[in-house]
Homo-oligomer: A and B are copies of this chain.
Amino acid sequence: MSTVDRRTKRKQLLRQKILDVSRDILLSQGFAALTMRRVAEAINYAPATIYLHFQSREQIAEELCFAGLERLYESLQAVTGKNAATRLAGFARAYLEYAGSDPETYRLIFMADPQLTKAVFTHRDSGGTGEAALGLLVKAMEELQVGSKKRVAKPIELAELFWAGLHGLASLRLACSQALTGDEFRLAQVLAAAITDKISPERIKEQRPQRSKG
């Protein structure tokens, strides 16, 4: 291993360490507490050192969002099932579980700075994770529509509506625990069922989606 390699590796390690402690601070104290000074203190360096690895506080936030979106995508990807309606119910549960397990990152991705949300969804570094996640929903909607007599909406529209519904439940729960008196997981199942029935009403009797166990 050459000297240059060693130097590069050490640099990468410090960069990763900055991301790690940033995530710790974000999870435990929220985004407002994620300051360059606090990060510097946590890694035992001066604040200025961080700027050798990241252009700004905003860039650190972006990378934390990319990573969060990746975890959300993986959770959705882990949902399997031959029946598209059942899969929809699984997506709903997985989505809300992610939001509940990583609330501060979720806030950061979808509810904080519009510029940050935009960066997460349009920046080249995000690798199209958002589109891929939405693609899973689109595919399920397409399958549900097969054999249905008439289309109430395009699959992409239905996917976005479903996503918006889940996001609404997740974000209201995060914004104010008192906002929703009902259980958001149950409400999400009702949403999944309503959309499923709306797409293919003729299947209502035969193929009602199973209630999720979780």
Number of copies: 2
CB interface residues, A 120-167, toward B, < 8 Å: 121-122, 152-154, 156-158, 160-161, 163-167
Does A86 lie at the interface of the complex (its beta carbon under 8 Å from any beta carbon of B)? no
CB interface residues, A 87-134, toward B, < 8 Å: 110-111, 114, 117-118, 121-122
Q: In whole angstroms, how far apart are the Cα atoms of A198 and B160 in the complex?
A: 19
B residues within 8 A CB of A118?
A: 176-178
Q: In whole angstroms, how far apart are the Cα atoms of A177 and B114 in the complex?
A: 9
State the A residues within 8 Å of B (CB): 110-111, 114, 117-118, 121-122, 152-154, 156-158, 160-161, 163-169, 171-172, 174-182, 184, 186-187, 190-191, 193-195, 197-198, 201, 204
Kindly list the 10 A-B residue pairs having the minimum CB-CB distance in the complex, ordered from nearest. Answer: A168-B168, A164-B168, A194-B198, A117-B176, A167-B168, A165-B165, A117-B175, A157-B182, A194-B194, A164-B169
